[in-house]
Amino acid sequence: MIVRWQNEHDYCLVHIHQDMFGDWLLTKAWGQIGTQFGGLTHSLVESYDEAVTLMESIGTIQESRGMKRVLQLDDSEEAADLFSDLMRAGELPTG
């Protein structure tokens, strides 16, 4: 799953996925649109449900900051492809 919130200047993107060992990860990228300012974190979680709960909490925070949800992609393969494309295009911080 991949979800993106944004306003005029900032974005926050959350990607829920499994690594090659089957562990669930929540990756969060945020920053200023059109710049390289931002950050990237990875959180290991116990389950997909826990990741979704964490993502919903992040969404609540982003929406309280005036951001709007502009993307939600539930298909994991399509979401992984989109996340990789955004990283390659330089639209997300690399770490």
Written as six digits, the tokens of 42 are: 């990875």
Residue 79 covered by a domain = yes
What is the pLDDT tens value at each position of the chain, 95 positions in all? Answer: 899 999 999 999 999 999 999 999 999 999 999 888 999 999 999 999 999 999 999 999 999 999 999 988 886 667 667 777 777 777 776 55
Q: How many domains does the chain have?
A: 1
Q: Is the pTM of this model over 0.95?
A: no
Residue 82's domain spans which residues? 2-88
Helix/strand/coil percent split, the chain, to 5: 30, 40, 30
Residue 94 covered by a domain = no
Residue 95 covered by a domain = no
Q: Which residues contact 3 (CB under 8 A, 6 or more apart)?
A: 13, 14, 55, 59, 69, 71, 72, 73
Residue 61 covered by a domain = yes
Domain of 75: which CATH number? Answer: 2.20.140
Written as six digits, the tokens of 66 are: 């005036």
The pairing of beta strand 24-32 with beta strand 10-18: antiparallel
Q: How far apart are CA 81 and CA 86, in angstroms?
A: 9
Residue 41 covered by a domain = yes
Residue 36 covered by a domain = yes
